[in-house]
Amino acid sequence: MPSTVVVGGFFGDEGKGKIISYLAQNDNPSIVVRGGAGPNAGHTIEDGNKKYKVRMLPSGFLNKKARLMIGPGVVVHPDVLHKEIEEFGTAQRSFVDNNCGIIEKTHTDADGGGRLKEKIGSTGSGTGPANADRAMRTLKMAKEIPSLKPYLIDVAQELHTALDAEENVLVEGTQGTFLSLWHGTYPFVTSKDVTASGICADIGLGPKNVDDVMVVFKSYVTRVGTGTLQGELPMDEVAKRGWSEIGTVTGRQRRAAEFDFALAKRAVMLNSATQIALTKLDVLFPECAHKNSFEDLSAAAKKFITDIEDKTDVAVMLIGTGPGVTDIIDLRE
């Protein structure tokens, strides 16, 4: 802080939602702002016995004082947004940039079948076709949609005003580094650059406006949809290890592989990461479940963490030890 950008280091679903909701509650940002592609993203957040699924609003909404913003680089599906605003009761503090693109029925129809669905394994959310229309300069903007009027704002201006006043801003990326349109496993990628630079461009922060870049890795790698996954394990082995996961948006079974140090090193490079957050350590090392201090981790878990630090040259600062927002080890000063 004051400005921290959080991005996914693998193929999305690293558990960014939980990390961001922890940071939003702990670091008191005045604004939590989302960049990234669109409602193809899905974050799951567990708070006590409540479970929230978020696709459009920033997952920092649990901090009731923070203003929640969506940057102009993100395409918005108004129905998905209205539903979340209602569900989370955030109407007074949710904002959409005037220039966010709008997903319409033509986009969801085009995404729901055919090549994108079958070859790329798209989420069917209309995000890709909407971004294609944005490139063609035919996409509608948020400022043209009456139902979004109460939420319209100039996101870049709000962010810079907050930073000038030395307030904390938390920037939320979606998807993951290797789903980036430029740096991912093309063509099996999403329709935007989702590395830290792309996320900053989505919201109007320049390269010098960022203090920290936190890249989130899960303790193993998962991928939904098609495209290569180095070291992919057979599904029965994934189940045996307790790594089975179901996609938040699509309900699809996620494919899985062991932690990939080479991929992690490349993600650190592409994002200019200054910090690492590691999630689901307890899934790999059940004896570490719900721990809140590094000293209480097992020797094997500690070695796994120091291996990551040695191979990437970046410190692991947050460690997820369970599904709840408080199941975390925070090693920042």
The footprint of ligand IMP (CB under 6 A) covers 11-13, 37, 40-42, 120-123, 125, 127-128, 174-175, 179, 188, 190-191, 224-226
Pairwise CA distance, residues 24 & 30, whole Å:
9
Cis peptide before 2 (omega within 30 of 0): yes
Stretch that binds ligand GTP, among 41-49, 74-82, 148-156, 160-168 (CB under 6 A): 41-49
Nearest residue (beta carbon) to Mg ion: 13
14 makes contact with Mg ion (CB under 5 A): no
d(CA 294, CA 138): 52
End-to-end Cα distance, the chain: 12
Question: Coil, strand or helix: which one is 195?
Answer: coil
Helix axes 196-203, 155-164, angle to 10 degrees: 100
Task: Say which of 13, 27, 133, 282 is annotated catalytic.
Answer: 13
Task: Choose among Mg ion, ligand GTP, ligand IMP, none what residue 255 binds, the Cβ cut-off being 5 to 8 Å by kind.
Answer: none
Q: Which is nearer to ligand GTP, 94 or 279 (CB)?
A: 279
Burial of 313 (0-12, 13-18, 19+ CB in 10 A): exposed
Of 43, 77, 107, 183, the catalytic one is 43
The answer to whether residue 47 forms part of the interface with ligand GTP (CB under 6 A) is no
Residue 2 or 173 with smaller CB distance to ligand GTP = 173
87 residue type, one letter: E
Q: Does the protein bind Mg ion through residue 323 (CB under 5 A)? A: no
Please report how close the Cβ of residue 6 comes to ligand IMP at its closest, in angstroms: 14
280 contributes a contact to ligand GTP by CB under 6 A: yes
- CB neighbour list of residue 263: distance below 8 Å, 6 or more residues apart: 9, 10, 178, 221, 230
Out of 2, 3, 4, 14, the residue judged to bind ligand GTP by CB under 6 A: 14
Q: Are 333 and 29 in contact (CB under 8 A)?
A: no
Fill in the DSSP letter of residue 118.
I
- Is 129 an interacting residue with respect to ligand GTP (CB under 6 A)? no
The answer to the question of residue 177 lying near ligand GTP (CB under 6 A) is no
Among Mg ion, ligand IMP, ligand GTP, none, residue 282 binds (CB under 5-8 Å by kind): ligand GTP
Is 47 known to be catalytic? no
The helix/strand/coil state of 262 is helix
Residue with tokens 């979340």: 84
d(C-alpha 133, C-alpha 315), whole Å: 40
Q: Classify 83 as helix, strand or coil.
A: helix
Enter the DSSP assignment of 3: E
Q: Is 43 one of the catalytic residues? A: yes
Scanning 10-18, 105-113, 235-243, 302-310 for contacts with Mg ion by CB under 5 A, the matching segment is 10-18
173 binds, among ligand GTP, ligand IMP, Mg ion, none (CB under 5 to 8 A by kind): none
Which residues bind to Mg ion, rule: CB under 5 A?
13, 42, 248
Catalytic residue set: 13, 43
